[in-house]
Amino acid sequence: MNAHENSEGIVVEQVYQEKGLFRLSSGAELPEFKLVYETYGKLNRNKSNAVLICHALSGHHHAAGFHNDLDKKPGWWDACIGPNKAIDTKKFFVVSLNNLGGCHGSTGPNQVNPETGQIYGSAFPFVSVEDWVRSQALLTDHLGIEQYAAVIGGSLGGMQAMQWAIDFPDQVRNAVIIAAAPKLSAQNIAFNEIARHAIESDPEFHSGNYLASEANPSQGLMIARMIGHVTYLSDDGMGTKFGRELQNSTEGEESEFQVQSYLHHQGEVFSQAFDANTYILMTKALDQFDPAGKHGDNLAKTVEPAQCNFLVISFSSDWRFSVERSREIVRALILANKNVSAAEIMSTNGHDSFLLPISRYVKILSSFMNRIAKELNES
C-alpha cells in the first residue's frame, strides 16, 4: 500500500502574522511574530468541530500527512490524525502549529528581528507556556474559531492543554492531557540543565549567536538529544530493542553496541534539524511551568476556572512523566469537581509511548473523540 494512503495526504504550511506588539509574561516584548501552522479536515458551518494539537519539546506544526509526493515520512502524529483515525479528519478540523520560539518557521531565535535586521540568536526572550497559549489564542481568533471541541497535547503539549483550560475556559470544551505533569520534578529539571550545559559548552555555541558566526553547536546539541532520548525510553524497552547486541563492524574497527549506534544516529540527525537556542528555550519553558505556583501550590484551586471535560492519559513505563504525576492532575480535577476520565496504559515504550499507536491508547482516545463528534452532531 502506498505510504500516502490512509493519511491526510498532501498538506500545505500556512503562516499567521501578528503585527501588533506582543508582551510576554517576562515583561519582554516582541514587535510582531508569525506562527507556521497546518490544518487538516474541514471546519463545519458553525465552526464547532475545531481541534487544537499542542506539540511537545522537539515537535512542530507538521503533525499529519505529507508535504509532497516524494515525502516518505509523515507528520509526527500521523498515527492518530487523519481520516478514520483517532482524531478523525472526516469529523474534525484540526489545527497544528509550530510554537512561538520554535525553529520550523515560527518567530524564534533562528529568525530575523525586524527591529534590528539581525538574527535574534541569544537576544530572543524567554517564552513561557502561558505565552504559547496566548499566541495560539490569537491564531484561533484569526481562524474564526470561538471554541475548540478539544485541545490535545502530549508531554509539554499536555501542559499547554492544561493551561488552555485554565486561561481560556470559555474556548475549550474538552482537554486531553497525555503523559504530562503539573510541574517538573527536580530530577527532570536536572536532566534539562545537563542538556543545556552540553549545548552551551560547545565551542561553536558562541554565547548563542552561532548563526551570526556561521557556526552550529552540533556536538552539544547531539549530546543533549542523546541524554533526552535515553530518558524518553524505558529500561525494559531498551533491553528488548537493543539488549547487549553489537553493531556489525568492518575488520579492524572496534565493535560498538547497537544502542550506542542508535543514540549516535538519533543525535546526529537531530543536531542538523533542530536549533540549539530553541532547545534551550523549550527546556526552560518546561522547567518554569507551574500553574499552581500562583495559588499556593494548590492545583485544585488552580484548575477551578476550567469548564471543560478532561481526559488524562499516562503510561506505565514512563519514568520521565510518571503515572503518579498524571494522578496528581486527576486528583486536583476531582477535588475541583471537574468531569475527568483517566487511563493508565501498560507499555514498555517509556515517555515516547504517547507518540506510538499502542492499541489500548488509540482505542481510548478514539472513544473520547467519537463521543465529542456525536455531541457535535446532536447539537
pLDDT score of 194: 97
Domain boundary among 249, 283, 317: 283
Check whether residue 46 and residue 158 sit in a common domain. yes
pLDDT single digits (tens) 221-254? 999 999 999 999 999 988 888 888 887 665 556 6
Average pLDDT, integer, range 61-70: 95
Average pLDDT, integer, range 273-297: 97
Domain boundary among 283, 317, 340: 283
Element at 340 (helix H, strand E): strand 340-345
Q: What percent of the chain has pLDDT over 70?
A: 97
To the nearest whole number, what is the mean pLDDT of the chain? Answer: 95
Check whether residue 118 and residue 176 sit in a common domain. yes
Distance CA 319, CA 324 (A): 10
Check whether residue 250 and residue 324 sit in a common domain. no
Annotated active-site residue in 58, 318, 322, 326: 318
204-214 burial, b at 16+ Cβ within 10 Å, e below that, comes to bbbebbbbeee
Average pLDDT, integer, range 336-358: 97
pLDDT score of 184: 97
pLDDT band at 6, cuts 50/70/90?
A: confident
pLDDT single digits (tens) 14-23? 999 999 999 9
Annotated active-site residue in 128, 135, 155, 271: 155
pLDDT score of 243: 82
Distance CA 347, CA 252 (A): 40
Check whether residue 104 and residue 25 sit in a common domain. yes
For residue 49, give the amino acid letter.
N
Domain hosting 118: range is 14-183+290-378
Check whether residue 195 and residue 237 sit in a common domain. yes
Check whether residue 205 and residue 278 sit in a common domain. yes
| Structural domain contains residue 9 | no
Average pLDDT, integer, range 347-366: 97
Domain boundary among 223, 253, 283: 283
Of 108-112, 254-258, 273-277, 289-293, give the lowest mean pLDDT range.
254-258
Check whether residue 153 and residue 169 sit in a common domain. yes
| Structural domain contains residue 104 | yes
Cα dist from 18 to 52, 106, 121, 222, whole Å: 19, 11, 20, 33
| Structural domain contains residue 165 | yes
pLDDT single digits (tens) 164-180? 999 999 999 999 999 99
DSSP conformation letters of 151-182: EEEETHHHHHHHHHHHH-GGGBSEEEEES--S
Check whether residue 329 and residue 272 sit in a common domain. no
Distance CA 292, CA 305 (A): 13
pLDDT score of 72: 87
Residue 14 sits at φ, ψ, to 5 deg, of: -125, 160
Annotation marks residue 155 as catalytic: yes
* Inter-residue contact 178 to 354 (CB < 8 Å): yes
pLDDT band at 300, cuts 50/70/90?
A: very high
Show the cell assigned to 307.
469548564
Check whether residue 149 and residue 249 sit in a common domain. no
pLDDT score of 1: 47
pLDDT score of 245: 80
Average pLDDT, integer, range 36-45: 97
* Inter-residue contact 266 to 223 (CB < 8 Å): no
Annotation marks residue 142 as catalytic: no
| Structural domain contains residue 115 | yes
Beta partners for residue 7, in sequence order: none
| Residue 281 CB burial class (10 angstroms; 0-12, 13-18, ≥19) | buried
| Structural domain contains residue 5 | no
Annotation marks residue 318 as catalytic: yes
Cell numbers 507551574 correspond to what residue? 290
pLDDT band at 284, cuts 50/70/90?
A: very high
Check whether residue 339 and residue 218 sit in a common domain. no
Coil, strand or helix: which one is 119?
strand
| Structural domain contains residue 35 | yes
Average pLDDT, integer, range 123-132: 98
pLDDT band at 358, cuts 50/70/90?
A: very high
Distance CA 376, CA 379 (A): 5
Can you give the pTM of this predicted structure? 0.96
Check whether residue 64 and residue 94 sit in a common domain. yes
Count up the domains in the chain and report the number: 2
Domain CATH code at residue 343: 3.40.50.1820
Domain CATH code at residue 199: 1.10.1740.110
| Structural domain contains residue 37 | yes
Check whether residue 34 and residue 139 sit in a common domain. yes
Distant-in-sequence, close-in-space partners of 262: CB < 8 Å, separation ≥ 6: 242
Distance CA 366, CA 379 (A): 20
* Inter-residue contact 173 to 339 (CB < 8 Å): no
**128 torsion bin: left (phi>0), alpha (psi -120 to 50), beta (else):** beta
* Inter-residue contact 34 to 15 (CB < 8 Å): yes
Residue 29 sits at φ, ψ, to 5 deg, of: -130, 145
pLDDT score of 257: 85
| Structural domain contains residue 328 | yes
pLDDT score of 242: 86
* Inter-residue contact 99 to 89 (CB < 8 Å): no
Distant-in-sequence, close-in-space partners of 113: CB < 8 Å, separation ≥ 6: 31, 119, 120, 123
| Residue 277 CB burial class (10 angstroms; 0-12, 13-18, ≥19) | buried
